[in-house]
Structure 1
Amino acid sequence: MAYRDGGVRMMGALDGDKITPIAPVDDFYSDVSKAMATVLSEPTLALADVDQVPPVPTTARIFCVGINYHSHAGESKNLAGLDLPKFPMVFGRWASTLVTDGDPVPVPPNEPGLDWEVELAAVIGSKAWNVTGETALDHVFGYTAFNDLSARRKQLATPQFTVGKNADRSGPIGPAIVTSDEISPAELEVITRVNGEVMQHGNTRDLIHDVGAIVAYLSDTITLLPGDVIATGTPGGIGAGRNPQVFLQPGDVVEIEIEGIGTVSNPIVDRSDLDGAVS
């Protein structure tokens, strides 16, 4: 996980509710293998006492995959007329949109609300260029949870998703990265709750393109770098796919959970509640 120590963003090893510092975030991702081989001391920090930050560099690229669960394909066809993709349908997010557990997320003023999307995210640990599906996972450092909160009005206004997928503070990520030697992405339950009510409940075995296939697909065009994030798509159950549609409103709390990783919970607020604090 990552936290702020004064003006420095640090990576630490999380054990229960205790943290052992490892290295500054940028140093950590400059050589992940070396950082992970560091002999750790006893935990020195309490999770409750630190200011969490996204566990990736500020230079990270966030590659998001659309329509990547069979259970979501029908919703996408009805909403946007999009067919089942033959290849990963990738769009980008900016690292500046990332927030962590507990951070408030504002609704843009001309949106009916925000929509939820629980996603398993893979974090790259070593440079990946032109890799195969068979070796792609060797380049994955670990996995975390990601909520691809979406401004649907802007997203669906044109064929390009970029604006609707980059609303301020709309990318909750965390709560930590579980290393790839401790978890397999092949069969994990993914859940979204809004005010305690389950809205999405899927499993990564329903992915159309698995993590290895996505990494390989990207890597023959874009060199993937340590700290880059690949959000692998969301299952059925989004708010825009319901009848009537349901969107997140100020006062709501949205929580995503991924088996073996944990939960990320965020309050939804009015933009005016954050004026002057939104970067």
Structure 2
Amino acid sequence: MSATLFKRLVRFVPKGNPAATLIGEPTDASVDVGLAIRQGQAVQVNVFAGASVLAPGAPTGAVETIDRVLSPLAQSEVGTIRCIGLNYKQHAQEVGMALPEVPTVFLKPDTALAGPWPENVVIPKLTQKDDCGDYESELGVIISKTAKNVSEADAMDYVLGYTACNDVSSRTSQLNQSQWCFSKGFDGSCPIGPTLVSKDVVDPSALRVRGLKNGKVLQDCGIDDLIFSVPKIVSFLSQSTTLRPGTLIITGTPAGVGMGRTPKETLRDGDEFSVEILPHIGTLTNVFKNEE
């Protein structure tokens, strides 16, 4: 199915059928799905025939109400999550680093994938030891078809759409190591959602991302502050490397991360963090719980 045949998709469990996982498009084109669900509001969805956002099929005519919204992609669909570090000009300034000349890439395993509220995100025991849990509000890009050696000019032909992400990080481990895969790859450290928005609906440079901890705005930046654009990132990652359908790329975080603030902000047991990307995508909310 072409991305042009949908605007926004959600993957969800419907009310009255906890064993089912459905794909569909919210009946209200303007509803912020994540925010509405967190506030206990009913969100209705036009159900599609497919079982995956990668092949959603056509509308069936059925309408269901969301009981639980899930990550747009299943863990089995993402492969290895590709991540871009230090990709906002303001963020580079706040951490005192020069702008990179090529994208900085690290990986998260598929076990890092998590979904929106009510799925909790666990603060690992290692992170709890010195209170170093941090948030990173990010735009996520989902690949639609196999990409390899793609040019920057053709890169958008391989993009299915966009979602919101939180690159949850353990800063002590990150700063003690030259590689970031361990410190950012803990189970559940990459919640995404609540919607997948078609690339044909929005220009990513027109989006704005905010990060809110317990309702307090800590990050607020236009995605036009990116150092490396979405086409540049997709092209770069595909060089001599196969990106399969469902590959998730998270594109970096703007200024305002916890370790860059005075005093520092950290994620603790019971904290609620929201990544808001408007228009269209909506609000990804998670409550953080200590690993026991």
The equivalent position to 1:194 in structure 2, one of 213, 216, 234, is 213
Q: Superposition RMSD on alpha carbons, in Å?
A: 1.9
Mapping 1:224-263, distance limit 5 Å: 224-260=243-279, 261-263=281-283
Letter in 2 for 1:109: K
Letter in 2 for 1:12: G
CA shift for structure 1 position 167: 1.7
Matched, 1:150 2:169: yes
Partner of 1:13: 25
State TM-score, norm by structure 2.
0.83
Taking a change above 3 Å as real, the CA distance of residues 153 and 104 of structure 1, as seen in their structure-2 partners, is: same
CA shift for structure 1 position 8: 6.5
The equivalent position to 2:112 in structure 1, one of 92, 97, 105, is 97
Partner of 1:24: 51
Taking a change above 3 Å as real, the CA distance of residues 7 and 223 of structure 1, as seen in their structure-2 partners, is: farther
The equivalent position to 1:52 in structure 2, one of 70, 93, 98, is 70
State TM-score, norm by structure 1.
0.87
Partner of 1:159: 178
Matched, 1:88 2:114: no
How many residues of Structure 1 are paired with residues of Structure 2 in the alignment?
259
SS in 2 for 1:68: coil
Specify every segment of 5 or more residues in structure 1 that has no aligned partner in the other structure, as ranges.
Answer: 273-279
SS in 1 for 2:95: helix
What CA distance in whole angstroms lies between the structure 1 residues aligned with 2:84 and 2:21?
28
CA shift for structure 1 position 39: 3.2
What CA distance in whole angstroms lies between the structure 1 residues aligned with 2:111 and 2:24?
21
CA shift for structure 1 position 42: 2.2
Identity of aligned residues (%): 34
Specify every segment of 5 or more residues in structure 2 that has no aligned partner in the other structure, as ranges.
Answer: 1-9, 29-42
CA shift for structure 1 position 56: 4.4
Conserved? CA contact 1:54–1:99, under 8 Å: no
Letter in 1 for 2:76: T
Q: Deviations over 1:143-179 (max 9, x none)?
A: 0000111111111111100111112212110001001
What CA distance in whole angstroms lies between the structure 2 residues aligned with 1:265 and 1:45?
22
What CA distance in whole angstroms lies between the structure 1 residues aligned with 2:278 and 2:116?
16
Letter in 2 for 1:265: T
SS in 2 for 1:202: strand
Conserved? CA contact 1:13–1:22, under 8 Å: no
What CA distance in whole angstroms lies between the structure 2 residues aligned with 1:98 and 1:241?
25
SS in 1 for 2:202: coil
Partner of 2:33: none
Conserved? CA contact 2:75–2:111, under 8 Å: no
What CA distance in whole angstroms lies between the structure 2 residues aligned with 1:127 and 1:57?
18
With 58-67 and 190-199 compared, the bigger mean Cα shift is at 58-67
Conserved? CA contact 1:9–1:53, under 8 Å: no
The equivalent position to 2:224 in structure 1, one of 180, 188, 205, is 205
Partner of 2:58: 39
CA shift for structure 1 position 256: 0.7
Q: Deviations over 1:82-130 (max 9, x none)?
A: 5321111111111211111111112122321421111111100111111
CA shift for structure 1 position 246: 1.4
Partner of 1:110: 126
Conserved? CA contact 1:58–1:96, under 8 Å: no
What CA distance in whole angstroms lies between the structure 1 residues aligned with 2:201 and 2:109?
28
Matched, 1:268 2:284: no
CA shift for structure 1 position 230: 0.9
